[in-house]
A and B are shown apart, each in its own frame.
Chain A
Amino acid sequence: AQKITQTQPGMFVQEKEAVTLDCTYDTSDPSYGLFWYKQPSSGEMIFLIYQGSYDQQNATEGRYSLNFQKARKSANLVISASQLGDSAMYFCAMRERVRTGANSKLTFGKGITLSVRP
């Protein structure tokens, strides 16, 4: 079974509007972390935001926020006030066993393409 599911087809958003990118995950580990990365056409992976499973509040980082619904196992990324430079692939990823301090691997979803229209 997939651990990270990103099923949205290519997403389009008008410049300056908000957009939500969906991510659901599957784990039996009570201690995990969720990450969002941006990959522009240049290919670099850019870290955006992190949410720990024990964090009481939803993570925010500038124009990025994470809508974390633990019971539903979803961790949707919300981008407010979209900019043309936000056009890219967006990947959701999970790291398990975070409480052990082990530097365990990231498991990635297949990604979502976001296009921002002027």
Chain B
Amino acid sequence: GAGVSQSPSNKVTEKGKDVELRCDPISGHTALYWYRQSLGQGLEFLIYFQGNSAPDKSGLPSDRFSAERTGGSVSTLTIQRTQQEDSAVYLCASSLGTGGGGYNEQFFGPGTRLTVL
């Protein structure tokens, strides 16, 4: 079956431009997460969606970052006025939203590599 997909796989942009990153979760997964991985670092949580609402936005680093999810499916992460420190791999993950129990494995997409020149 199809896994989590992300587009584009690579994005090069100039400082100050806006970018949109897209995530298609696994069908039926109601929970969706965005993480960021800078070079040689672990993953840093950005935002979590349950359905179309975002109960946890605590990881968004500044108000230049925003995300939305529509139809309980596709999510878009938008970075406005990009800065060089935004360069990273942006990973999306999804999981079943049934709650209960701790397992609830998160399945990750291949990521979008963002380079801000």
Closest CB of chain B to A49's CB: distance in Å?
Answer: 10
Q: How large is the interface on A (under 10, 10 to 19, 20 to 34, 35 or more residues)?
A: 20 to 34
**Interface size counted on chain B using CB atoms at 8 A:** 32
Closest CB of chain B to A52's CB: distance in Å?
Answer: 5
Query: Cβ of A104: which chain B residues have Cβ within 8 Å of it?
Result: 48, 56
Contact A108 B103 (CB under 8 A): no
Query: Cβ of A8: which chain B residues have Cβ within 8 Å of it?
Result: none
Query: Cβ of B110: which chain A residues have Cβ within 8 Å of it?
Result: 43-44
Query: Cβ of B41: which chain A residues have Cβ within 8 Å of it?
Result: 110-111
Known: A43-B110, A44-B110. A109 touches B102 (CB 8 A): no
Contact B102 A95 (CB under 8 A): yes
Known: A44-B108, A108-B43. A101 touches B100 (CB 8 A): yes
Query: Cβ of B59: which chain A residues have Cβ within 8 Å of it?
Result: 105
